[in-house]
Chains A and B, each alone.
Chain A
Amino acid sequence: MTTLRQSIQSSRTRPDALPASVPFASTGHPGSLLGISDLSLDQITGTLTRASLLESEDPLARAHRLAKRRIALLFYESSTRTRTSFELAAKSLGCDTTLVSSLSSSIEKGETLKDTGLTLRALGAEAIILRHPNSGAPWLLEQSTGLPVLNAGDGMHEHPSQALLDLRTILACLGLGAETAIAANTLAGVTVTITGDILHSRVARSNMLLLPRLGARVQLCGPPALLPDLAAQAGPGITIERDFDHALAQSHIVMMLRIQAERLAGLQLDLDEYRQRYQLTVERLAAHPSVAHVLHPGPIIRGLELTAEVADGPQSRILDQVRNGVAIRMALVERALTATRSGATQ
């Protein structure tokens, strides 16, 4: 009997050297942002710098930058912050924008994502901002249209523009100016705890993949049903701490997440118990003075994952996040329409 080990040793090629065949792989439009790992630290620095520049620019001058360029917002899920901030960002740069939502469009009649994308392209869209309930949908749209695609949230997968605006918020919280060049040690010594429904959260995934690249420690906190152990394997620098108070004791920044009722898929939760264990209250914040800043990607459910007092309290950065969204998304829209194959932007 041959063991696999012997057989592998005697072979020219190990099984893990099997070719990875991914014919559906992204054609990789340089203006696209599909996942946060698409961006190098230099590109992130560039995006943050650009966001600050555009934010402070005279609005009339800014509106000439991309005057009459066409951006389509394709939203298969409801959204307030992301949609509005992308739209305002594009309009600030002078773009014409159009919104297609799954209700009130031919999507209701069964049109596929590919055909909807081709239709938008034929109508002159030069980039598409996509929110979609299925993980990976932005790859399909990019592949089908060849256009730059900005992922505005895909299923349970990623929400990269949210991670960038969260990063901008965190850097401001820590007094690191927008001019800071991002490096692998920029957030060294900083612990960020993400608490709540990690399993269903694209915001959590993008943040847990981004922040450790800057040296931060990311702690995930939540019950096993919403935070499987294997989440810690998503990337380096990620740990799990089930006890919220222990987690807070070690944290500088805490990011609270909403329980995504629309994705629970039959999962039953005891909400009273959840509140008791994981709700962020003024008492908990007071008990853990290391936690200086509270973030939440929204929408917030007051009285569930955090109390109204915390949401409105002095440590809350929730509305700063929203404001940062417009600046970051201006930079991303500009990048989408100006990036070239050679890799140069702007």
Chain B
Amino acid sequence: MNDHAGNASPENARPANERAANTPGTPPITLIRGGRLVDPAAGIDEKRDLLLRDGRVAEVAPRIHLSPADAAHTQILDATGLVVAPGLIDIHVHLREPGQTHKETIATGTAAAAAGGFTAVAAMPNTVPTNDTPEITRWMQSPDRNPSARVFPIAAATRALRGEQINDFAALKAAGAVAVTDDGHPILRDNIMREVLAAATRHGLPVIQHAEDTRLTEGASMNAGPVAFRLGLRGMPPEAEYGLVERDIRLVAELARDSKSARPHLHVAHTSTAQAVAAVHQARRNGLHVTCEVAPHHFLLTEHHVGCYNTHAKMNPPLRSEADRDAMIQGILDGVVDAIATDHAPHAAHEKEVEFERAPNGITGLETALGLSLHWLHGEWRLPLSRVLSLLSAQPAALLGFKGRGTLSVGSFADVIVFDPDAEWTWLAAHSRSRSRNSPFDGWTMRGRIRHTLSEGRLVHSA
């Protein structure tokens, strides 16, 4: 579950990552005192003090005493009655920059991340221009973007996401790319997908697929079924998702069979159908490296939430049937689902205030993922707190190979959240740090309130 549990040695970060996400004004030392420390990767759920120094975790102990020399310039955060946990990691966000800064920028998107408890986000390549070069990959990670959380770019698998010409994975990886995908332009052609999987495997990169056979979804704007019929909307059949997942798994199996050394990693983005989760489960039983994520809206909402053509209930993959929604919850409870990821997809108000069929897909998610997960997965469906946090930190970190993140073991990055686990509050989209407000969860009750978010030692959010 957690490949790097107990990882104590700071990994040699790539050059672009060497500079802390944060720069001036960082107190060299922070002591978080008296909190309940929940570090799923290290198997800790006990009262612990946490000492952060120079952007790293320096000490974890029941009681930490500062030396008089340190005490003078140590920031002390009282975490009595609060949970201290690894900063959350979202492996699926759209930060819109470069290109669509009216929707979001790296600065505003990561500010929303920090407010929601996320200290690292993996950014999709459907920017303008597409992130298919090392230059853009580096540009996105520059401190000049003023990020409040670490940004890990996911690069385009093919040139301009066209599914034709494969990009230079070695150069993209060297520039900091953590995975490749063609995002909302899924790779349909078998030979191209096979080549992408083979090339990515050679370079140790996961291939992320937005599984949608677009030949079956033309003109469609919601899940196929009785609700779509009733609303007069063309529907996206579930087989458009699971059919492509099954095809991809077949290609992974063929590659693994043909070459003993190759172990391709296929990651299925935002699974929304029961059959897709079942296919991933079966592939793993067959020894393949296939992982999947689920977004909060897919474990909470159904096609009925489209209601009177609510464009804040329009996303791709669409909200599905109740049976599919229940299968997402079950997949999470059973441990088949590897990560909760938001698919944070900001859009300007005027872009969503149009006819349902013409509205862009997607909703924001960074500020609501923890509150919804704690309220529903933990509060209602009794998933232990450490497992909820693991799905939001240790597991996604392991999935994309973020070394020294998703845990608070000594030597790890000082990515930390401090939150009140029992606080119930109402989330209002109008108060979002994101540049956009397109959320179906406006006015919903959240559980668990972030008090502090620290990114590599820097306090990036307090409430």
Contacts from A to B (Cβ < 8 Å): 1-4, 7-8, 10-13, 15-16, 18-26, 112-114, 132, 134-137, 139-140, 144, 154-158, 199, 202, 205, 228, 230-231, 233-235, 265-266
Contacts and interface: CB of A to CB of B under 8 A. Distances in A.
B231 interface: yes
A1 B381 contact: no
Given A113-B355, A265-B218, A231 B330 contact: no
Contacts of B229: 199, 228, 230-231, 233-234
A10 B354 contact: no
A230 B226 contact: yes
Nearest to B350: A112
B230 A234 contact: yes
A21 B232 contact: no
Contacts of B226: 230, 233-234
A197 B133 CA distance: 49
B382 A144 contact: no
Nearest to B309: A136
A43 B311 CA distance: 30
A140 B353 CA distance: 8
A23 B355 contact: no
Nearest to B377: A7
Nearest to B299: A15
B441 interface: yes
A3 B309 CA distance: 33
B304 interface: yes
A93 to B, nearest CB: 29
Contacts of B381: 4, 7-8, 11
Given A3-B330, A4-B330, A15-B329, A139 B382 contact: no
Most buried by B among A1, A7, A18, A231: A18
Given A26-B308, A155-B357, A230-B229, 4 more contacts: A4-B330, A7-B333, A11-B380, A21-B305
Given A4-B330, A136-B231, A21 B440 contact: yes
Contacts of A233: 226, 229
B335 to A, nearest CB: 8
Given A21-B442, A21-B444, A205 B230 contact: yes
A8 B310 CA distance: 28
A15 B353 contact: no
A24 B231 contact: no
B19 interface: no
B43 interface: no
B382 A7 contact: yes
A75 B357 CA distance: 18
B303 to A, nearest CB: 12
Contact of B333 (A4, A25, A144, A205): A4
Nearest to B230: A234
Nearest to A114: B353
A19 B333 contact: no
- Name the 7 nearest CB pairs between A and B, nearest first: A136-B309, A157-B232, A156-B232, A22-B307, A134-B355, A135-B232, A233-B226
A202 B355 CA distance: 17
B434 to A, nearest CB: 16
B263 interface: no
Contacts of A3: 330, 333
A140 B431 CA distance: 24
B144 interface: no
Given A15-B329, A19-B444, A205-B232, A25 B307 contact: yes
A228 B225 CA distance: 10
Contacts of B234: 156, 265
Interface in B273-306: 300-301, 304-305
Contact of A21 (B309, B333, B357, B443): B443
Contact of A10 (B301, B335, B350, B382): B382
Contact of A135 (B311, B329, B335, B357): B357
Contacts of A154: 232
A25 to B, nearest CB: 5
Interface string B347-385: 000100111111000000000000000001000111000
Contact of B356 (A112, A136, A228, A234): A136
Given A8-B381, A12-B380, A230-B226, A24 B312 contact: yes
A144 B353 contact: yes
Interface in B316-355: 322, 325-326, 329-330, 333-335, 350, 353-355
B60 interface: no
A7 B377 CA distance: 10
Contacts of B443: 21, 23
A2 B231 contact: no
Interface in B228-287: 229-234
B104 to A, nearest CB: 20
A21 B441 contact: yes
Interface string B199-239: 00000000000000000001100000110011111100000
A45 to B, nearest CB: 25
11 contacts: A7-B382, A11-B380, A15-B325, A15-B380, A21-B444, A22-B305, A22-B308, A25-B307, A136-B308, A140-B356, A154-B232
Most buried by A among B310, B358, B444: B310
Nearest to A156: B232
A325 B354 CA distance: 30
A12 B447 CA distance: 15
Given A18-B300, A112-B354, A158 B310 contact: no
B312 A135 contact: no
Contacts of A20: 304-305, 307
Contacts of B225: 230
A185 B376 CA distance: 44
B337 to A, nearest CB: 13
Contact of A140 (B301, B329, B334, B354): B354
A343 to B, nearest CB: 20
Contacts of A205: 230, 232
Nearest to A19: B444
Nearest to A235: B230
Contacts of A202: 232
B428 to A, nearest CB: 11
B277 to A, nearest CB: 12
Nearest to A158: B232
A134 B356 contact: yes
Contact of B310 (A1, A22, A112, A234): A22
B219 A265 contact: yes
A136 B305 contact: no
Contacts of A157: 231-233
Contacts of B312: 23-24
A23 B304 CA distance: 13
Contacts of A19: 444
